[in-house]
Structures are given as C-alpha cells and as structure tokens.
Structure 1
Amino acid sequence: MTRPGFEEQWRRRFVQRGSRFDDDAGIAGWTPSGLETRLRNFRRVWPGDRPGALWLDAGCGAGSYTRHLSACGVRPVGLDYALPSLRKARQRSPGDIPWMVGDVTRLPVAPASLDGILCLGVMQALARPEAAVAELMAAVRPGGQIWIDVLNADCLITRLQRGLARLRGRGMVLRYDRPRQLAHWLRAHGAEDVRIHWVPILPGPLRRLQPWLETPAVRRLLATVPGIGALVSHAVLVSAVKTGVQPAHGAGS
C-alpha cells in the first residue's frame, strides 16, 4: 500500500515507538499525564454498550482503550499498523482480545459489521482524514457508535505555536483539525447525534492543576459558553451514531 509522504513518516515513527518504548503513553506518543487525561475523559463521557457488542479500536497502539472496552463488557478487537505495538498490547492484555495488523484508511472488516468503533490518536497522522472518516462510518452498522478524537486547531496555544512556527520558517509536525469540520464529515457520511466533547489538557509542568479543569463546574462552562471550549482544549472527542440512511454519492467531498 502506497501512502502519502506525511502518513508514511508517521507510520515509521509509530513502528519505532512501538519497538523503543514499553509504556502505553510512550508507544502512543503522549506524555503519561496526557494519556491519563485522555482516557479519563473518554471514560467519563462514553455511555457503554450492551454486553458482547463488537467494537474495533482502530489505531489501538498498546491497547489502553481496548482493555477499557473489554473491562466494560463489550467484545473489542485492537487494530494498528505498528506490529511492535500490537505485540506489546497482546502481552499486557487479557488473552481473549484479538489483535489485527491493519490501516484505518483500509479497514479489514466487512461493511456494517461493527457495533461501535474508536479511532483515537490517529487523525493527526493522516493526510486525508475525511477519507478515514468515510471508512470508519462504512464499517459500523446502523445505530452503531463512532468515537473519533483530533488535535484541536482552534486551541489558543495551538494557534500561538503555529504562528511561531511560521515566523521561524518551520512547519508543524502534526496535523490539527477543527471540530466542526469533523462533525460535518460525520454527518455527510450518514451520522446523527453528533456531539463534541472538549478535552482540555495542561502541559506536563502544570499537570497538578489538571483536576481543576475537570471539575463539574468547569466542564459545564466549556459545554455551555460558546467558544470557550475551543480556545482552551488541546484535543476534542467527537461522538456520533450511524443512521440507517445512506448518504448521497460524493457527499462531503
């Protein structure tokens, strides 16, 4: 499979990380506090599913979310294109979890065969994320759940970093997305009940203040005051449900 240069660079990085690191955060490319915050926020908002429901963790890395799905009673499959990461995921996970080598842009599953799908920590390493969204939507049955996260292009700190990079004549290593654009792609490919969940993450030196950002009062503020969540959230988690209506040909292109 031929990948765009940007994607191939990131595939090699993730293979190297899977070989080099042993901790889940290092394999995924996050700091330990960053991964803990992301996982904690997902646990807070994910509603769960019926026991035995079939879920795919696409881009599972070392299996942090895959194991959480399993502990909640659904039947997860972990998929990643970095074989070293999958080997470590299998070593530290229950033996009944299956693992597959595969790419989120070409999922090795039958259409409409999944009850739910996660794709977390992946979109920033893709050149054409909208194509991956279409692939994810196609794999889920009508009524199934889709959960995707992205790095937030509207975050104030991200905007400052991009401005500094331009002044220095440097490009950004990662790709960032706007939550509304991701929500548009999901709806264009047959999703409803699209929801945006803001994930503010403080830098490592300030991680002791992170619990304050996750208090009910602050979370309510981010959810209800327009613009605040987008400005302060490094990441965003978007959830949706697949409808039974197929989108028109070429929608979202």
Structure 2
Amino acid sequence: MATALFDTWTDRYDSWFTTPIGQLVRWYEAELLLSFLDPQPGERILDVGCGTGIFTVDVLRSGARVTGIDLSAAMLARAVQRGGDHFAGLCADMCALPFADNSFDRVFSMTAIEFVADAVRAIAELNRVVKSGGRVVVTSLNSLSPWAEQRRRKAATKGHCLFEQAHFRSPEEMRRLIPGPSESKTAIHFRKQDPVDQIPEIEQQGMAQNLETGAFLAIRWDKR
C-alpha cells in the first residue's frame, strides 16, 4: 500500500537532503520551483503531496498561506511541525482533492505525480481547484535523466520498493497532460557520483543549454 510505504520513508527522505549531494539537489529544485510558482504574500496556495514539508517552507517564506495534503500521515505530521502558523495539513488523495472549484490562488506539487498511475485525473484535479488565471506547477522525476535509469535498475535488480511504484515521464509526456499552453524546464543536470565541487559548473551549463535531460522536471501553466 502506497500510504504505508511512504510512512516508512519519512526519516530517510529528510536525511537524504542533509547529505552534500542532497543539499545541492534541494537548493536547485527549490530555485526552479519558486521561479515557476512565483508565490506572493497573502495568497492561498495548495501544496499537493507535501511530504515532510521540506519544500513547503520555501513557499511559506513568501508570506503566502499554504495548505498541504499528503497520503502519508507520518510525513504530514513532519510537515505540520515545520510549517508553523501559516500552514494547514490534511491527509488526502491528489486524484480526489477535498476542495471546491477555484479555491486557491496557486497550486503546486513536488515529485508526487510519478507515484500516480492516473496522471490525467491528477492534473485535472489540480486545475480544478486553482482559480481562473491562477498558476499551477507540477514537478516530477524525468524519464530522460540518468538518475531515472539508475532508479529503474534499483527497482529491477534490488527490488527497491519506492521506485518499483514510480511512473517516470518525459517532458513531452508531461506537456501532453496539460490543458493548454505550458512551459517546462529541467534541473539537476549532474549525476549523483559527480564530485561536489564540479556540480555548480555542470548545473550552470545544463541550465544555459536548456537541456531536457535534467533529473528534476518542472512544468507550469496558468488556468484559462
């Protein structure tokens, strides 16, 4: 069961982002998220699949009020601890969001949609609850990245329980899910085994060339 699976990953998920590589991954991913989402003070924002709130706090620093949902009660409890007074969390499914149409100024989802088989329904739900003219940002693990290939091997050869359930999609596959014009970009152009001191240069080159092979894929659109 996916819920129980993610409950067991709460500490490992947070610990990964304290490693030297994990800290860099977090920084570059948060930078791309914020540039696409552009959260503003006082806005009501929905974080779909908020996990432990590691990226939620970056959005909260904008002065927005954030509601976070996640299937895992254990991860959500950690997010509530991190979020403070301007954060509210509840357990819910991104394919059946418990909110009325046009409820939020902006909606974002960080690396959650790859664990959903029915991505069309998930995207429709995100689009439903954002206000007309509001921004939606979805990020995912990019199928074109060397990181995805490593994760596939772990699932096939080592029985990695998390990656066995992942649906890796390419930028083009993600763009086809979006109801209207969108913009996509990738980050994390370095590999996990690259020397830490070389990562900033590798990342800068990948971003400058606008490569679509970065491990972290972000796509945004404004609701019509």
- Give the TM-score, by structure 1 length: 0.74
1:221 is aligned to: 209
Instruction: Decide whether aligned partners of structure 1 residues 12 and 85 sit closer, same or farther in structure 2, where only a CA change above 3 A counts.
Output: same
Q: What are the ranges of 5 or more consecutive residues in structure 2 without an aligned counterpart?
A: none
1:138 is aligned to: 128
Distance between the aligned counterparts of 1:155 and 1:107, measured in 2? 30
Identity %: 19
- Maintained 8 Å contact 1:31/1:204: no
Q: What's the secondary structure of 2:177's corresponding residue?
A: helix
Distance between the aligned counterparts of 1:210 and 1:235, measured in 2? 15
1:71 equivalent in alignment to 2:55? no
Letter in 2 for 1:56: L
Instruction: Decide whether aligned partners of structure 1 residues 209 and 77 sit closer, same or farther in structure 2, where only a CA change above 3 A counts.
Output: same
Question: 1:69-104 deviations in whole A, cap 9, x for unaligned?
Answer: 111122211111111112112222322311111111
Aligned runs of 1:126-205 on 2, under 5 Å?
A: 126-155=116-145, 158=148, 173=164, 174-187=166-179, 191-192=180-181, 194-205=182-193
- How many pairs are equivalent? 218
Alpha-carbon shift at residue 195 of structure 1 (Å): 0.4
Instruction: Decide whether aligned partners of structure 1 residues 161 and 83 sit closer, same or farther in structure 2, where only a CA change above 3 A counts.
Output: closer
Instruction: Decide whether aligned partners of structure 1 residues 160 and 71 sit closer, same or farther in structure 2, where only a CA change above 3 A counts.
Output: closer
Distance between the aligned counterparts of 1:92 and 1:208, measured in 2? 30
Aligned runs of 1:1-253 on 2, under 5 Å?
A: 8=1, 10-18=2-10, 20-21=11-12, 23=14, 25=16, 31-43=22-34, 45-46=35-36, 48-155=38-145, 158=148, 173=164, 174-187=166-179, 191-192=180-181, 194-206=182-194, 207-215=196-204, 218-222=206-210, 229-230=211-212, 232-243=213-224
Letter in 1 for 2:134: G
Distance between the aligned counterparts of 2:147 and 2:53, measured in 1? 29
Aligned-CA RMSD value:
3.0
User: Which structure has the larger Rg over C-alpha atoms?
Assistant: 1
Distance between the aligned counterparts of 2:112 and 2:16, measured in 1? 14
Q: What's the secondary structure of 2:84's corresponding residue?
A: coil
Distance between the aligned counterparts of 1:99 and 1:107, measured in 2? 13
Distance between the aligned counterparts of 1:46 and 1:212, measured in 2? 22
Alpha-carbon shift at residue 235 of structure 1 (Å): 2.1
Instruction: Decide whether aligned partners of structure 1 residues 47 and 95 sit closer, same or farther in structure 2, where only a CA change above 3 A counts.
Output: closer
Letter in 1 for 2:199: Q
Instruction: Decide whether aligned partners of structure 1 residues 50 and 88 sit closer, same or farther in structure 2, where only a CA change above 3 A counts.
Output: closer
Q: What's the secondary structure of 1:214's corresponding residue?
A: helix
Letter in 1 for 2:221: A
Question: 1:32-65 deviations in whole A, cap 9, x for unaligned?
Answer: 443333223323x235244211100110111122
- Maintained 8 Å contact 2:142/2:215: yes
Instruction: Decide whether aligned partners of structure 1 residues 116 and 205 sit closer, same or farther in structure 2, where only a CA change above 3 A counts.
Output: same
Letter in 1 for 2:185: H
Q: What's the secondary structure of 1:90's corresponding residue?
A: helix
Q: What's the secondary structure of 2:221's corresponding residue?
A: strand
Distance between the aligned counterparts of 2:183 and 2:55, measured in 1? 20
Distance between the aligned counterparts of 2:154 and 2:64, measured in 1? 44
Distance between the aligned counterparts of 2:88 and 2:149, measured in 1? 40
Distance between the aligned counterparts of 2:33 and 2:122, measured in 1? 21
Distance between the aligned counterparts of 2:50 and 2:14, measured in 1? 14
Alpha-carbon shift at residue 157 of structure 1 (Å): 5.7
Q: What are the ranges of 5 or more consecutive residues in structure 1 without an aligned counterpart?
A: 1-7, 223-228, 244-253
